[in-house]
Each structure stands twice: as structure tokens, then as C-alpha cells.
A = this chain, B = another copy of it.
Amino acid sequence: MGTTQLESVPEPKYWHLKTVLSEALDSEFSVGEILPNERDLAARFGVARATLRQALEQLELEGRLQRRRGVGTTVAPPRVGVAVGTEQQAWPGGAGDVWQAVDCTPAAPPAAVAAALETGPDDTVYTVRRSRVSQGQPVAAELLYVPESSVPELSAIDAPSGPARARAVLRELQRLELEGRDSAVELGSARADDARELDRLPGAPVLVVTTRFLADGRTAALSVATYRADTCRLTFGDSGGVEIHQGPERQAS
């Protein structure tokens, strides 16, 4: 009879909430502004705090919000574009490299890395830790695996301490002729150590960029770089990359 079936697929509350909040962010808030706390927001929308949090989580995943424990929830600035494709058609550590070497330890790598490097289980592989900063914020942490066979001239005496040894390894790498690289991007969640370096909680969503450096017809080095997914837009290709953002952007006073 008269029971017209509108809303045959009822929208979940948190989904509708997300839409409402998203529009409010565009029209009523400025970048950097602090939102009301979760308990107040939940009460205002008449939902449980867990439901509100589900909406906030999505908005944070999309880079619209930033939440910090003990502080509050703020409107996030647009994502920063970080170049990962070109601009560095060279070895890590070459001219114009945006990475900063942290330290370097010789150790047997994880099994999956050893397989990709085609090294035996007992071959030593240098693990270089590097970090990348953009606009004052840490955006990525990297583990660069360099098998000993790629830097045969390196002697342990060259550099006793952390960052110095890392730079020595990178310098030795330049002696090889780079034949090509290929990369892959996938979604992951931050390990505890990466999370600390990226100023996020463990499990935060990250974009994992795995790059293989080819020389001498084999994989001469392998980089696993972990980018903050909430704040970064990875750009590839000729120039900067496209920025598609949703609404008006204003600056907090």
C-alpha cells in the first residue's frame, strides 16, 4: 500500500555524519582551527562517541583532520606533494637528494628483503636508516638495504659511527652505474619505530614505496620508504603533479 520505500538503503549514521562534518569544514572552519572535543560533538549530533569517532577517523584518513592525544582535533592543511618519481634519477645520496642519513648497521635483513636482493641468508647487508622532512614536518622514514657486494671497497674503518658510516655506504654506491629503477606503492600501517619517527601512533596508515635500484644486471640496493598517508601526496612524472582538493581553503588567524 502506501508504504513507499524511500531510503531503501539507509545510510549509516557515521557516513552521514562524515558528510555533514566535511561540509562544515569547508564552510565554517579554517586550517589549523580546533574543533570542539569529541564528547561535545557527539552530544551535539545526538550520537554515541564511538559513532562520532568513526566519522572523524575517516576524515583523518582523507587528510582533512589531524588529531593529537591530549591536545585536540584540528583542521589539517592540504596535503603536501612529495616527489618520488623523477628528480632523483640517481643513486640515493647523490646530488639533490632530499633524504637525511641517520645511521647504518650491518645485519642480516628480513627474509623477504633477502629474497628480493637475491642474497644468501648469511650475507651481510648494510641497513641504512634515513628520514625525509618537508616543510618542517617529518614525512617519511626509509630503510635502505645495500648488500655488501654492492660496496666492495667499503671498509669498516672508514666510518666508525652512525651517520658517517651511512654516508660512506652511499658514497661507495655512486661508483656503480645505475641502470634503472622500479617502484611500487601500497598501503600499510606504521610499525612502532616508524610511527615514532613520523610522530604518529603505531598502526597509522602509511604509503609504502618500495624501490629497486638496478646495476650490473641485478638488484644493487632496495629501499623501503614509509610515508605518512594522512599528510602526503606522492607525485610522479614530469612536473609537480595535480592537486585536486574539495573546497575553499582559508588560513587560521
Residues of A within 8 A of B (CB): 15, 18, 58, 61-63, 79, 81, 85, 112-113, 116, 180-189, 202-203, 205, 207, 210-212, 214, 222, 224, 229-230, 232-246
Contacts and interface: CB of A to CB of B under 8 A. Distances in A.
A238 B187 contact: no
A184 B222 contact: no
B233 A184 contact: yes
A184 B243 contact: yes
A158 to B, nearest CB: 29
B207 A185 contact: yes
Which one of A212, A214, A246 has the highest number of Cβ atoms from chain B below 10 Å of its Cβ? A212
Contacts of A63: 186-187
Contact of A238 (B180, B189, B240, B245): B180
Given A182-B235, A238-B214, A240-B182, A62 B112 contact: no
Contacts of A214: 238
B62 A234 contact: no
A182 B239 contact: yes
A79 to B, nearest CB: 6
B183 A241 contact: yes
Contact of A244 (B112, B182, B205): B112
